[in-house]
Amino acid sequence: MTNIFRDVRGLILAAIGDLVAHGVLPPGLDLSRVAVEPPRDPAHGDVATNAALVLAGIVKQNPMALAERIAPAIAARQLRSGDFHGGGLGVVAARPGFLNIRLPAAVWHAQLRALLRAGTGYGDTDIGAGARVNVEYVSANPTGPMHVGHGRGAVVGDALAALLAKAGFQVHREYYINDAGAQVDILARSLFLRYREALGEDVGTIPEGLYPGEYLIETGQALAARDGDKWLGASEVEWLGSVRDFAVAQMMALIRADLDRLGVRHDWFASERRLVEAGAIEECLAALDERGLIYTGILAPPKGKTPDDWEPRPQTLFRATRFGDDVDRPLKKSDGSWTYFAADIAYHRDKFRRGFANLIDVWGADHGGYVKRMQAAVRAVTDGAATLDVKICQLVNLFDRGKPVRMSKRAGTFVTLREVVDEVGKDVFRFMMLTRRNDQALDFDFAKVTEQSKENPVFYVQYAHARAASVMRHAAEVFAPEELSDQALAGAALDLLTDPAELALIRQLAQWPRIVEGAAEAHEPHRLAFYLQEVAAQFHMLWNKGRDEATLRFILASDPILTRARLALVRGVALVIASGLAVIGVTPVEEM
RNA sequence: GGCCCCGUAGCUCAGCUGGAUAGAGCACUCGCCUUCUAAGCGAGUGGUCGCAGGUUCGAAUCCUGCCGGGGUCGCCA
């Protein structure tokens, strides 16, 4: 665990502690808002802190004056502890009350050394402290192939899970199978038609309201192969259960195969039907009922817009308004069966009872209106002991050479996730899904994402990694393999890395642990993709400097000592990129 | 109409949970290949952060109200 920013923050807090001990500052200060970060302007040093600005607000003192008292305290503290390689930090108070700190180059060299020793484990942190997190994602209905939107949720969820694991959480990845509602009955009826068709019957066009997709033809044949004609004369009540189970199993196999192709995995597939059959819903609602959170009432029509067929009707309702929702929510349909919401409450309660107090759900844009009620339900059902964060993934708009690819099930231009992944590859798809914040709509152009140019971020980052590998291949012609291992390079004369561009790159690499922590805390895996593009840019820049000035090239035949130091930097770049791509789920390439 | 998300350079988007003169890519102009991958790099041009208030040392960021775009809206999931 090497995070220079965290180390400096520790130093600053210690220095403030010293001031408290000397009575300069009062005890019991809230220091949570003290931030240590790289300043935007390099002229402001290597790291900057707002400590004096934060404290000024608390103790009602002039921030600049405070900064000037804290600055020497930091320097004194550091000299006493001997940390940060002795050298002495330049601590300067600046304008409104910032403290700008310049770290000795040796600190950065030590960061690079630590990076090489940690390998792709660099950036691992323990901010999660082993806490258990449940991440639920995809959860596509088992009624057909997944579309690109599902793919986005799959990647966001999978990368978020990997990110949290890297940040020290104990992560559990779940998929909720909606195999109990009316949808799967429709699926069963649709399949039954294909089944009859497989047995030689002409079923004509698929009626409105059933799934017309051709993917069911094969499944119908499979059902016919398994059961023969045993259902032909039977009534629906007889065949429905068996056909439905078969259909769901087949659809889940299809979905799992697609996820597999994407490299997306889950630890647990939770079945709604199993929850229903185990009586989990009744049990859950009974618990809510005991607390007076369920009642029979009549909902008012949606404000400002009454549906044509609206009629007041008594319903079984959950008091969601007590927990921050806008209206109370129905739990029972008019036919007496549970709503999806009722089952979902039971499911989230089940997660909590299995030991998860940190819940994250990744949903599609069309479920945005569902967030409040689910969070309300989680609060109710766990007495506020669990938190639910919902990541809404906005739409993916498909283009080909700038022209929109219209998605229409009727027109037969429906593009499945499978088709897209087969076309562009899993790595490209995964990276692209993280080039936007999850709540921002994303344009995906088939032509652009496979293009080999810097306009294509996937390529750009991969190219940096491949270039680093290329340098190492050339180095292998000069050095013995044992001289080029990461452990060996960690022992190179890193203090020879003194060029501003080299130090800038090391600083960039040293940010990786901080990026991981920030992204994990915010539940925002896309930050990794953006950071990797910055690392790649820095590296390409340094590469080209070597083109202009031969003395800056990585491999210098005349100077093996300096060469090994630079190779250490090159490996550092490759390791950070590989480390980041691993979280995103993309394979770094050695050559392209 | 209610609720949720979004509005930042001509275009596509970042902006690290309130910090310093608001960043990157594309496009446009100029420059860099006998040499580790030019599949790349450098320099320049380009901004009322939708609008108006408020909170405070300090706001693109937080609050309120408008404007514009998208999603959603009792027994679908």
A191 and A81 fall within a common domain: no
For residue A402, the model assigns a pLDDT of 79
Strand-pair partners of A173: A135
| Size of chain A, expressed as the number of residues it contains | 592
Tens digits of per-residue pLDDT, A300-347? Answer: 888 777 777 888 889 999 999 999 898 999 999 888 889 999 999 999
Q: How far is CA A335 from CA A182, A315, A331, A568, A576, in A?
A: 12, 11, 12, 69, 57
**Ramachandran class of A61: left when φ > 0, alpha when ψ lies in -120 to 50, beta otherwise:** beta
Tens digits of per-residue pLDDT, A502-549? Answer: 999 999 999 999 999 999 999 999 999 999 999 999 999 999 999 888
Q: How far is the CA of A159 from the C1' of B76 (A)?
A: 29
Comparing CA positions, the residue from A128, A130, A132 lying closest to residue A356 is A132
Question: Which positions 98-127 on chain A have a beta carbon less than 7 angstroms from any atom of strand B?
Answer: 98, 100
Verify if strand B has an atom below 7 Å from the CB of A84: no
pLDDT winner (highest mean) among A4-18, A244-258, A395-409? A244-258
Q: How far is the CA of A522 from the C1' of B17 (A)?
A: 8
Q: How far is the CA of A408 from the C1' of B27 (A)?
A: 33
Q: Which nucleotide is nearest to A365 (CA to C1')?
A: B71
A575 and A470 fall within a common domain: yes
Q: Which of A262, A286, A318 is the endpoint of a domain? A: A262
Asked if residue A119 has pLDDT above 80, the reply is: yes
Total structural domains in chain A? 3
- Is position A144 within any domain? no
Tens digits of per-residue pLDDT, A420-431? Answer: 999 999 999 999
Tens digits of per-residue pLDDT, A456-488? Answer: 899 999 999 999 999 999 999 999 999 999 999
Tens digits of per-residue pLDDT, A13-62? Answer: 999 999 999 999 998 888 888 999 998 888 888 999 999 999 988 888 88
Instruction: Tell me what ipTM this predicted complex has.
Output: 0.95
Q: Which of A76, A103, A130 is the endpoint of a domain? A: A103
Q: Which nucleotide is nearest to A555 (CA to C1')?
A: B36
A191 and A97 fall within a common domain: no
Query: Which residues lie below 8 Å from residue A491, measured CB to CB, with a gap of 6+?
Result: none
Tell how far CA A470 is from the center of its chain. 30
Element (H, E) at A341: helix A340-353
Domain CATH number, residue A38: 3.30.1360.70
Strand-pair partners of A393: A364
- Is position A27 within any domain? yes
Q: How far is the CA of A213 from the C1' of B72 (A)?
A: 26
Tens digits of per-residue pLDDT, A165-217? Answer: 999 999 999 999 999 989 999 999 999 999 999 999 999 999 988 998 899 99
Domain CATH number, residue A572: 1.10.730.10
- Is position A194 within any domain? yes
Verify if strand B has an atom below 7 Å from the CB of A371: yes
For residue A420, the model assigns a pLDDT of 92
As a whole number of angstroms, the distance between CA A526 and CA A155 comes to 10
Average pLDDT, chain A: 92
Q: How far is the CA of A57 from the C1' of B54 (A)?
A: 20
For residue A30, the model assigns a pLDDT of 87
Q: Which nucleotide is nearest to A454 (CA to C1')?
A: B39
A98 and A186 fall within a common domain: no
- Is position A273 within any domain? no
As a whole number of angstroms, the distance between CA A572 and CA A503 comes to 12
Q: How far is CA A573 from CA A5, A335, A366, in A?
A: 19, 61, 40
Verify if strand B has an atom below 7 Å from the CB of A302: yes
User: Which structural domain, as residue segments, surrounds residue A238?
Assistant: 182-262
- Is position A377 within any domain? no
- Chain B bases closer than 7 angstroms to a protein Cβ: 1-6, 12-26, 32, 35-42, 56-58, 70-77
Q: Which of A209, A232, A262 is the endpoint of a domain? A: A262
